Chains A and B, each alone.
Chain A
Amino acid sequence: MSTREPRPSPESSALISAHGLRKSYGRTEALRGASLELREGEILAVAGASGSGKSTLLHCLSGIVRPDEGVVTYGGEQLGLLPEGRLGELRRSDFGVVFQFGQLIPELTALDNVAMPLLLAGMRRGPAQQQAGEWLERFGVRGQAELRPGEMSGGQSQRVTLARALVTGPRVVFADEPTGALDTLAGEQVMTALVHTARESATAVLLITHDAQVAAYADREVVMSDGVLRSGSDDVVGQEAARREG
């Protein structure tokens, strides 16, 4: 089903790395020197209170926004040096984005929405719809294929959004509070689907959330506060384990 084989992930290869990101919106300083690394195939949770700059971080890392200062590197290339057209291309082919609210085109059916990235890549309508249908099947929303976003439940439309983000086989998925508007069970379905597919195809995931139970789906966590990132201290846990044994 996926057009890519799972990529091998060497131990410390950083797929995306960011150093010293600074970004201000008007007088609000959203990022104050944030740095992080996302490895191949890794699921990273970025936790923190609302207003701590998590969404801005995601926008900078995915090339949606250019930071005022700092460097974002993807696969060796600096995003800041790429022209707008190439950035858009990256977002179509290499990145997938899932936000909290509807990014689906309200007038298109679920099937057409999921097929859209493929159409943009030049695929013909028929094969695009077929592939889209398979992805909808994977997320258990095949029955909603002919419905419009307004006619589905929140959980269903988020799963369609997920299918749309993953249909081109991206290397990184950026998810900004994907379950924010959903109840516990619907959220669980979405997260399980996301993590399962990501692991299958070795897709890296950057997951923004303020919910610890959602963050628990990730491999590791970093905490954002006031525009700066603090690691979740995996090293402290290791030290503690060593001390208990010693």
Chain B
Amino acid sequence: MSTRHVLLGLLAAGPCHGYDLKRQYDARFPQARPLAYGQVYTTLQRLVRDGLAAVDGTDSDGGPERTLYRSTDEGSRELALWTDQITAPAPFVTNEIFAKVVVSILVAAAGAPTGPDGRKPDAAAHLRAQRAAHMERMRELTALKTAPGADLSTVLSADYALAHLDADVRWMTTTTARIDTLTAEVNAA
């Protein structure tokens, strides 16, 4: 899961302290590995270095824990690009898709500026597009395994990938059905 983009997404709602960001991250992605403080600050520093985030001020105490960070215009554009991007269909991509869905909702709630082609981030549309990409890959794999003369190892590996992609598709279908509830929950948190 791309940590830097998730942090950028969390910053979309407004400037945040580093420790606040970690707290939010853990709360929104309970199944993921908890983010270490060190990782948060390293990522934030890199974001600042790349111009995607900026320091918004420091509290009187000083020190890294008390630094406020905010997202820049450049950062918003990068975020829009990332959320829009289709994840390459391969086994175990669900976390990434989930991250994009959640971040899309956050960005939309924060009324962030539109992406490069003037489209607002739309979680449901993203899921549909992701599903289409998954189906395309599944079609390729199916054609591969049903080709005349396909050997058993090809069939088996294709089956493995198909089963996991199928799991992703199932998850995406139910998530699409639940998208309204999810939006309310994400925005309430």
Q: B-contacting residues of A (Cβ < 8 Å)?
A: 49, 192, 195-196, 211-213, 215-219, 221, 223, 230, 232-234, 236-237, 240, 243
Q: A240 vs B133: C-alpha distance in the bound complex, in angstroms? A: 9
Minimum CB–CB distance from B87 to chain A (whole Å) comes to: 10
Q: How far is the CB of A219 from chain B (nearest CB, A)?
A: 8
Separation of A233 and B128 alpha carbons in the complex (Å) = 8
Check B132 against A212 for contact (C-beta < 8 Å). Answer: no
Q: Which of B85, B139, B170 contacts A216 (CB 8 A)?
A: B139
Measuring CB to CB, which residues of chain B are less than 8 angstroms from any residue of chain A?
A: 85-86, 128-129, 131-136, 138-139, 141-142, 146, 162-163, 165-166, 169-170, 173, 177
Chain B residue numbers with a CB within 8 Å of A230 are 128
SS of B interface (majority): helix
CA distance A159 to B92 in the complex (A): 34
Are B132 and A216 closer than 8 Å at their CB atoms? no
Contact in complex: B129, A217 (CB < 8 Å): no
Q: How far is the CA of A230 from the CA of B124 in the complex (A)?
A: 13
The 4 closest A-B pairs by CB, nearest first: A216-B138, A212-B169, A216-B142, A233-B132
Residues of B within 8 A of A234 (CB): 132, 136
Docked-complex contact A216 and B128, CB < 8 angstroms: no
| Residue in contact with B132 in the complex, picked from A192, A195, A218, A236, CB distance below 8 Å | A236
A236 to B165, CA, bound (A): 19
Chain A residues near B141: list those with CB within 8 A: 216
Once bound together, how far apart are the Cα atoms of A216 and B132, in whole Å?
Answer: 11
Q: With A212-B166, A233-B128 as known contacts, state yes or no: A240 contacts B86, CB within 8 Å.
A: yes
**B132 close to A232 (CB less than 8 A):** yes
| A212/B136 in contact, CB under 8 A | no
Whether A232 contacts B131 by the Cβ 8 Å rule is yes
Q: Is the CB of B132 within 8 A of A237?
A: yes
Partner of B177, one of A49, A215, A237, A240: A49
